[in-house]
C-alpha cells in the first residue's frame, strides 16, 4: 500500500513539475515582461531589421526623446551652472562614457531622461567621460547633461586583457570619487540601456539602503546565463515539496490507522 502511495505521489510530482514548466513557458510567451523591455526592444520592429538597422532605429527614437526634453534640460543645466551647484537628489546616476561606437550613450541618456520625467525617480544624471580622445557623441550629450572629465594619471597596456581591466577599474574609482551632490551614486556603462521598470527598482533600492545602514553597496549586474534560472528553480522546488509532504502525511495516517 505504501509503495502504491509513493508511486502515485511521484507521478503527481512529475506531473506538477511538467505542468509548471508548460505554464511558465506559455506565460513567458504570451505575457509581456514586467520590466517593460518590449518597449525598448520591440520584437515587432527588430524581427524585420538587421542588427545595425535596429540599432539605428533605437538611436533615432532616443534622439527624439532627447529633443523632447532638450529645452527643459538646457534651462536646468544653465541654472546649475549659474549657481555653481547641482540640485540635491537621492541618487546620482553616472554614466561611464568611454566613447564607444554605436550611439549607445544616446540611448542610455534618453532612457534615463524619460524615466526621470515620467516617474517618481529622484535621480540626477551625469556623464563621466573616460575617453582619451575627443568624441562627438559625448560632446553633444554634455551640452544638456553635466559631464565630469576624468584623466587617469596611469598608463595602461590596452593590448592586454589585464591592462584593459586595470583601466576600467581605475576609471570606476575616479568616477566614484568625483564630487556628487547626492546620497547615493550609481555607476552604469554607456551601453546599459535601462528598461522602464528601472525607476521602480532604483526607488526600492534607495528605500532599502535608507532603512538598513549595514548595506554598503549593491551590484545590479546579473550574468545572462543565470537569468531566470533561480526563479524557475524556486517555483519547481516549491511545487515539488507539496506532493511529497502529502505522501508523508498520508503514510503517517495510514500507519496510525
pLDDT tens across 100-122, in order?
888 999 999 999 998 888 777 77
Name the one residue in this structure whose C-alpha cell is 573616460: 130
Range of the domain at 99: 45-76+89-232
Number of domains in the chain: 1
In the chain, count H helices and then E strands: 9, 4
Residue 247 domain flag: no
Residue 67 domain flag: yes
212 Cβ contact list (under 8 Å, min separation 6): none
- Grid cell for residue 47: 524581427
| pLDDT tens digits, one per residue of 60-97 | 999 998 988 877 665 555 555 555 555 578 889 999 99
Residue 237 domain flag: no
224 Cβ contact list (under 8 Å, min separation 6): none
**What is the pTM for the complete model shown?**
0.69
Residue 127 domain flag: yes
Q: Are 129 and 98 in contact (CB under 8 A)?
A: no
Strand partners, 95: 127, 188
d(CA 178, CA 173) in angstroms, rounded, equals 9
Q: Are 203 and 121 in contact (CB under 8 A)?
A: yes
Contacts for 17-25: CB closer than 8 Å, 24+ residues apart = 17/236, 17/239, 17/240, 20/235, 20/236, 20/239, 21/232, 21/236, 24/232, 24/235
pLDDT digits (tens), the chain, 257 positions: 555 666 666 777 777 778 877 876 766 665 556 667 777 788 888 888 899 999 999 999 999 989 888 776 655 555 555 555 555 788 899 999 988 888 999 999 999 998 888 777 778 899 999 988 888 999 999 888 999 888 776 666 667 777 778 888 888 888 888 877 788 889 999 888 888 888 888 888 888 888 888 888 888 776 555 555 555 555 555 555 544 444 433 333 332 32
Residue 10 domain flag: no
Terminal-to-terminal C-alpha distance of the chain = 13
Residue 14 domain flag: no
**Residue 191 to residues 37, 101, 108, 201, 202: CA-CA distances in angstroms?**
15, 10, 7, 19, 18
- Grid cell for residue 68: 523632447
d(CA 39, CA 49) in angstroms, rounded, equals 16
Sign of the alpha-carbon dihedral angle for 171, 184, 70, 41: positive
Q: Are 169 and 150 in contact (CB under 8 A)?
A: no
Residue 2 domain flag: no
Residue 33 domain flag: no
- Grid cell for residue 222: 546579473
Best CA proximity match to 220, nearest among 35, 10, 85 = 35
Amino acid at each position: 500500500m505504501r509503495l502504491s502511495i509513493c508511486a502515485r505521489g511521484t507521478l503527481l510530482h512529475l506531473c506538477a513539475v511538467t505542468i509548471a514548466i508548460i505554464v511558465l513557458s506559455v506565460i513567458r510567451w504570451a505575457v509581456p515582461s514586467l520590466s517593460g523591455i518590449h518597449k525598448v526592444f520591440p520584437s515587432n520592429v527588430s524581427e524585420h531589421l538587421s542588427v545595425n538597422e535596429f540599432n539605428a532605429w533605437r538611436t533615432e527614437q532616443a534622439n527624439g526623446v532627447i529633443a523632447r526634453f532638450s529645452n527643459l534640460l538646457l534651462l536646468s543645466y544653465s541654472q546649475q551652472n549659474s549657481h555653481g551647484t547641482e540640485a540635491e537628489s537621492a541618487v546620482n546616476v553616472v554614466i561611464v562614457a568611454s566613447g564607444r561606437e554605436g550611439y549607445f550613450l544616446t540611448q542610455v541618456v534618453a532612457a534615463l531622461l524619460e524615466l526621470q520625467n515620467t516617474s517618481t525617480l529622484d535621480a540626477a544624471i551625469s556623464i563621466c567621460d573616460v575617453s582619451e580622445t575627443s568624441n562627438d557623441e559625448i560632446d553633444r550629450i554634455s551640452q544638456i547633461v553635466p559631464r565630469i572629465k576624468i584623466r587617469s594619471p596611469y598608463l595602461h597596456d590596452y593590448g592586454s586583457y589585464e591592462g584593459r581591466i586595470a583601466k576600467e577599474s581605475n576609471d570606476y574609482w575616479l568616477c566614484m570619487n568625483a564630487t556628487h551632490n547626492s546620497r547615493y551614486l550609481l555607476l552604469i556603462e554607456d551601453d546599459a540601456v535601462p528598461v522602464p521598470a528601472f525607476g521602480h527598482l532604483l526607488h526600492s533600492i534607495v528605500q532599502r539602503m535608507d532603512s538598513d545602514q549595514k548595506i554598503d553597496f549593491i551590484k545590479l549586474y546579473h550574468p545572462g546565463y543565470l537569468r531566470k534560472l533561480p526563479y524557475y528553480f524556486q517555483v519547481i522546488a516549491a511545487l515539488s515539496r507539496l506532493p511529497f509532504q502529502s505522501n508523508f502525511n498520508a503514510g503517517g495516517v495510514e500507519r496510525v490507522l
